[in-house]
A and B are shown apart, each in its own frame.
Chain A
Amino acid sequence: MYIERHMITPALTVKPDTLLPEVKEILTSHKFRHLPVVDHDNRLIGMISDRDIRSAYPSSVLEEEKRRTILDEVSKTKVEDVMGSKIFSLSPLSTLDDALHLLSRGKVGLLPVVDEDRQVIGVFSVQDLMKAYKNLYGIGEKGSFLIALEDDGQPKPLTRIVRVLEEMQISFSRLSRVKGENNKNIIYLRVQTFNINLIHKAFKEIGMKIIKD
């Protein structure tokens, strides 16, 4: 669950005095949308995004003369003049859940990962988060599928499920309980077997019902 296992390293960064055309070139050639901006000690001081760059560049519908003037200005503009200073960052010990929370709260697509000295040691994007959760929950894993169970309201439903699955040697990768309609809990389970007879037998044994639609 820790970000240090899922972040992308090393992180590509730019310095505050890097000029915008160079940043634009880096973003385009790497197909990146965000870059951390670091000082000369590699400490995080801001983030620059393709949106910041687009805002700085002249509109394509402007008159040619005005466009040239703005382009001329842009070619001399430093990252520090347009970068965002409201920065969200993760630490290596942040978890995937922390990252999800922060990406969503900050409405950003990428978070820098910094150590205790605020030095940038990696980056973590929405795509990386999706990949990590996909693995974590076994989504798209060939030979597996999701089962929805009705929580019967009896004590220790999850314990009973895990026990019977382990006793019957049915492997599974996800077990979660969520509130369904009418406050009834639904238990989701990703199993890795085609022997559905065995699954039916297992749940019958503990008195639980599979929701079919």
Chain B
Amino acid sequence: MTHFNPITLVSHKHYLEHDTGGGEHPEVPERLLAISEQLKKSPLCPVLVEVDAREPERQDVLAFHDESYLYRFEETALSGKTYLGHPDNQICFDSYQIALLSAGGGITGIDLLENNNADLVFCLVRPPGHHAESSLPLGFCFFNNAVIAAKYWQKKYEREKIVIIDWDAHHGNGIQAAFEEDPSVLYISIHEHPTFSFPGTGHAEDNGMGPGTGTTLNVPLRPGSDDTVFLQAMERLVEPALADFRPDRIIVSAGFDGHIKDDMSGLSYSTDLYEVIGRKMAAWASQYCQGKLLSILEGGYHLESLAESVERYLQGMAQTTQG
């Protein structure tokens, strides 16, 4: 019979208060609510442990972001302006604090993993992070949650070699920008081809710079690519890169917008795929990192598919088969 290992969910009720103005904006609080509702009725429910995210130290955020950017973001939010930089990046009065708390999700998870209070952590956070650069908000992202987590892991716990695996449908330009010259972090992104997909970065030829050459792996997929194409890319490109790098820790930038029902990309993944991905991520964590796995929510905008896909991802991750 199927048995599930415990999963710690790091989240915070304040995440629901990041108001993106309603209308047609896809990055809405209902995303987290839909996931919570789905998990409540899931067979996983008994193994889920909920933990509140804590706010990061300022220095943890400054490990990647410019201080002037923090001031600009805070002032813009407090002044009552409704967006930061581009109108895509809608904010409310409390968005600065909530974005900080979102960055704190990964950090909270890392403490749990390193203090042996958890092996599998999923951070149910918003706003998402992987498009944010050191002083640039982009694509609904303000602070780069995965980058801040990776830098914290290295500094606080001396986990030297980190891999960030990003299978959100969109390229995580902010993560790439943070580590493209840094050989200690391998960034792997599988995304829809940048010519046809936001933010227009992540070409296969971009494989890092200077000392970081070879520790960025971009795998662009043609619009319409399905589970088979995704899994082939994993097997042919991602697995050998991981085996070569041998990470000490794995961070997953978990975006669910490659789902066929999600209009935010032209990819055609099924809900089933996410369970397979969950199994793979947990297997790699066992192989390389004593089973420790940190996943951070990025995109995923079709509420029903998002909720179901997250559930299946967690199921795949937590599954062990007993005789």
Contact = CB atoms under 8 A, between A and B. Distances in A.
B263 interface: yes
A-B pairs, 8 with minimum CB distance: A213-B224, A194-B139, A197-B24, A212-B266, A198-B24, A213-B223, A194-B198, A197-B26
B196 A145 contact: yes
B197 interface: yes
B194 interface: yes
B135 to A, nearest CB: 13
Contacts of A192: 86
A195 interface: yes
Interface residues of A, number: 21
A201 B24 contact: yes
Contact of A213 (B26, B88, B197, B266): B266
Given A146-B195, A193-B86, 12 more contacts: A142-B199, A142-B201, A143-B139, A147-B196, A194-B139, A194-B140, A194-B199, A195-B24, A197-B263, A197-B301, A213-B222, A213-B266
Given A196-B198, A213-B224, A142 B263 contact: no
A141 interface: yes
B138 A146 contact: no
A146 B223 CA distance: 12
Contact of A143 (B200, B222, B264): B200
Nearest to A195: B88
Contact of A144 (B26, B87, B200): B200
Given A195-B88, A213-B223, A142 B301 contact: no
B264 A196 contact: yes
Interface in B46-99: 86-88
B266 A143 contact: no
Contacts of B138: 142-143, 194
Interface size band for B = 20 to 34
Give the one of A142, A146, A147, A192 with max B CB within 10 A: A142
A195 B222 contact: no
A190 B173 CA distance: 18
Contacts of A213: 222-224, 266
B263 A200 contact: yes
B25 interface: yes
Interface string B1-33: 000000000000000000000001110000000
Given A196-B263, A196-B264, A197-B301, A143 B198 contact: yes
Nearest to B264: A196
Contacts of A141: 200
A169 interface: yes
Interface string B186-203: 000000001111111100
A198 B24 CA distance: 6
A140 interface: yes
Chain A at the B interface: SS class:
loop
B127 to A, nearest CB: 12
Interface of A: 140-148, 169, 192-198, 200-201, 212-213
Give the one of B24, B138, B194 with max A CB within 10 A: B24
A90 B170 CA distance: 42
B24 A142 contact: no
A56 B33 CA distance: 75
Contacts of A142: 138, 173, 199-201
Contacts of A195: 24-26, 87-88
B59 to A, nearest CB: 27
Nearest to B299: A194
B12 to A, nearest CB: 24
Nearest to A148: B196
Contact of B224 (A146, A169, A212): A212
21 contacts: A140-B200, A142-B138, A142-B173, A142-B199, A142-B201, A143-B86, A144-B198, A145-B195, A145-B197, A145-B200, A147-B196, A193-B87, A194-B170, A195-B24, A196-B26, A196-B264, A197-B26, A197-B264, A201-B24, A212-B224, A213-B222
Nearest to A210: B266
A141 B198 CA distance: 10
Contacts of A196: 26, 198, 263-264
A146 B25 contact: no
